[in-house]
């Protein structure tokens, strides 16, 4: 049956594709995410060198990172960030 043949080929292609995806994802995870900043992108406080070494591509100081983390957990944090951003404009 020709139909069965075609389906086998498609499955193999899918497996290849998922392996490629996985490899691409691993490479992305391992690669540094841009340069670490010496100063926080949010409040411009200096970021400690130990933190920059621990987190490749770090963009935020500990305080701003914690603020951002808690903003994801509590909706009130997002509102606070929104008002802070409008003050900057």
Q: How far is the CB of 28 from Zn ion (least distance, A)?
A: 25
> Do the Cβ atoms of 68 and 60 come closer than 8 Å?
yes
**C-alpha span between 23 and 21 (Å, rounded):** 5
Q: How far is the CB of 65 from Zn ion (least distance, A)?
A: 8
Residues in 43-62 that interact with Zn ion by CB under 5 A: 43, 45, 61
Q: Does 42 sit near Zn ion (CB under 5 A)?
A: yes
Q: How far is the CB of 60 from Zn ion (least distance, A)?
A: 5
| Nearest by Cα to 66 from 81, 86, 56 | 81
Nearer to Zn ion, 46 or 76 (CB): 46
Write out the residues near Zn ion by the rule CB under 5 A: 40, 42-43, 45, 61, 64
């Amino acid at each position: 049956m020709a139909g069965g043949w075609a389906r086998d080929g498609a499955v193999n292609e899918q497996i290849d594709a998922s392996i490629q995806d996985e490899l691409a994802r691993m490479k992305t995870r391992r690669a540094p995410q841009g340069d670490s900043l010496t100063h926080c992108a949010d409040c411009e406080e200096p970021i400690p060198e130990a933190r920059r070494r621990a987190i490749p591509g770090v963009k935020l100081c500990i305080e701003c990172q914690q603020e951002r983390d808690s903003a994801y957990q509590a909706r009130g944090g997002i509102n606070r960030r929104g008002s802070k951003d409008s003050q900057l404009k």
